[in-house]
Structure formats: structure tokens, C-alpha cells
A and B are shown apart, each in its own frame.
Chain A
């Protein structure tokens, strides 16, 4: 079992829709969870992080964390073509940041 798992996609949504990206992790002791966006040929950029159970909202982005289910998700409201990218889920373990394989999102105009 991979430590951080994501559906590789591609996930395709129409412009204006809600995109839902999911991530599960295996280490129940994980404390911090991060979502990064990576455009092709570029390095990842931090979208948001979450530490506590529940929802955390930042603009069009909402991160959801459920530690009991070892599940973290990212919702993107009013998706735009510019949101098309690979979204990486990361979990901090002992100071290291462990990444999932990423989900490719495509937002169609």
C-alpha cells in the first residue's frame, strides 16, 4: 500500500463546475496535509494546508480532512480552464513531505 494515494485521473469537469480531488493516507499518525498544484514543466505551488478535522476554505478552494477515515480532499468551486493542472496531495511524516502520485485535472471551456 502506498503511503499517500490519489486517483491519477485524468479528471475532466466543465467550466464552472465543482472539481473534487481525493487523497488517502496510510499513516494514522500523520499530522499535516497539503495540496499543491503543478503545471506541466513547473514545480509545485502550495494551494493550502490543513491540520484539523473538518473544512478549511480559501477563496474557491476548500480542503476537507477526516482523520478517522484517513482521507483528505480538495474541492475547487467555479472551476476555470486555468485550474487545469496536476494536483498533488502531500502528507508530513517526521519532518518529510511525502507526495501522492497526483491527479490530473482538466477543466473544459
Chain B
């Protein structure tokens, strides 16, 4: 069975602070896909990144960066110099073989001015 754990339920930071959101996954499959989504209060899930299990390269996109480590089954997400607009719930998700995504419980990030 697949499982995603986001241990941080809520995080509150002050604008311009860096913040890391943790994601730990479990699967016995050797081929799998990991995703991060942002969900603002309006409700839509905004795609941030997708990684497959064969690509351990870390990625940076503007203020966002992702650290994928198969050795620790983690796919952590860092926001550098956070902004108020980053306030949202962030979900990490895992998919294997079928089209069923298994989501973590989410981390609610609040960035205060």
C-alpha cells in the first residue's frame, strides 16, 4: 500500500523567512511519481512539481525548491523568502501504476506580514 506523511499540520512564518515543508512517502513499487500541489482558500489544486522515482535531481523554480532523497523516502519542499501570497495548504501526493493519487494530509502554511 502507498502512504504519504506530512507531519507538519500547520506552519506559521513571518514574511521573508524561509520555510521547508516535509513529505515522507511509502511504497514498494520501484516506479512511482511524486507531486506537490498548492491549495489556496479558493479551492483549486495548483500543480507545483512532479518527479518520477528515477529522477533524483533536485529542482529550483524561482523561490521554490525541492529536495528528493530516495534513501530517506522524502520529497521536501522549500520556499525561500516567503510571501503572504504563499499562504495556502500544500499537499504532497504519490502515484504508482494506476491513476490513483494518494495525498498526504496537507500542511497549512500561513505567512504573516
A and B associate in one complex: no
